[in-house]
């Protein structure tokens, strides 16, 4: 690019996406080509538009379609929280690397689709659009695909932090214990007889309250790991209440 030069400043939350030499100050002088949009310029510097909130040029907010002019000063802000996703019920699609996060969102009753195999970025983007799901990923290239219905970068590699961040960003309705953590289907109450083929002898003798997935048929009961799951649910609900 060798057109009008502009000054771009990124909010601290967005600087991790910038090349190493620009992260500390979060600013850049950029020569544009005179025809590319401001959204294109921001993405060319490494920041996915899924993470970009208001774009402020010389004190006024502009759309991503704005064509920069010479000497403009641009402030790139992060998405506002809680982030609203208009036009569809709030539900998510996670890529192959976010299996633990998917199970935890389902535990909380959040509609969460998950691909346990790598089906490729084009297929993930197409599913996001077809089902109107927010794509959650740590893959910046995937989040830049234009076919996406909506998307969000998962900032942490730790599942606890990932869950906390997604819940804080989107504030989905929580309905714990209503979804199958294996397939995302809805759960219903079930009798011991209905799920007896999935129970070992000790479970048969020790438990009387069961649920079953209406989609895949998997049985659930308050087994050995129940306290750990309760702790996850209680932390999420407490964060919502605070």
What are the tens digits of pLDDT across the range 194-234? 999 998 877 788 888 999 999 999 999 998 889 999 999 99
Is the predicted pLDDT of residue 32 greater than 90, yes or no? yes
CA-based torsion, 46, 130, 90, 237: positive or negative: negative
CATH class for domain 5-78? alpha beta
Q: Which residues of the chain does CATH 3.10.20.30 include? A: 5-78
Q: State the Cα–Cα distance between residues 217 and 185, nearest whole angstrom.
A: 9
Q: Is pLDDT of 87 > 90?
A: no
Question: Average pLDDT, stretch 156-162?
Answer: 97
Using CA of residue 11, residue 13, residue 18, residue 19, what is the dihedral sign?
positive
Alpha helices in 75-135 (DSSP H): 99-107, 121-131
pLDDT tier, 190 (very low <50, low <70, confident <90, very high otherwise): very high
9 bridge partner residues: 27, 75
Query: Is residue 114 classed as helix, strand or coil in its secondary structure?
Result: strand
């Amino acid at each position: 690019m060798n057109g009008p030069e502009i000054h771009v400043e990124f909010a601290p939350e967005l600087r991790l996406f910038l090349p190493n030499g620009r992260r500390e100050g979060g600013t850049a002088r950029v020569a544009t080509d005179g025809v590319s949009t401001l959204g294109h310029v921001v993405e060319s510097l490494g920041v996915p538009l899924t993470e970009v909130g208001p774009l402020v040029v010389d004190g006024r907010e502009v759309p991503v379609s704005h064509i920069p002019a010479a000497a403009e000063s641009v402030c790139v802000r992060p998405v506002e929280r809680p982030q609203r996703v208009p036009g569809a019920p709030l539900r998510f699609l996670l890529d192959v690397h976010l299996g633990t996060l998917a199970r935890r969102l389902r535990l909380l009753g959040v509609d969460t689709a998950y691909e346990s195999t790598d089906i490729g970025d084009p297929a993930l983007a197409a599913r996001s659009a077809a089902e109107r799901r927010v794509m959650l990923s740590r893959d910046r290239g995937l989040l830049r695909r234009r076919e996406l219905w909506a998307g969000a970068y998962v900032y942490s590699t730790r599942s606890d932090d990932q869950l906390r961040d997604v819940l804080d960003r989107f504030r989905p309705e929580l309905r714990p214990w209503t979804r199958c953590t294996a397939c995302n289907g809805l759960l219903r109450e079930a009798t011991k007889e209905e799920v007896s083929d999935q129970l070992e002898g000790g479970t048969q003798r020790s438990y009387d309250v069961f649920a079953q997935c209406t989609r895949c048929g998997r049985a659930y009961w308050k087994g050995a790991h129940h306290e750990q799951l309760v702790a996850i649910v209680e932390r999420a609900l407490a964060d919502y209440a605070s």
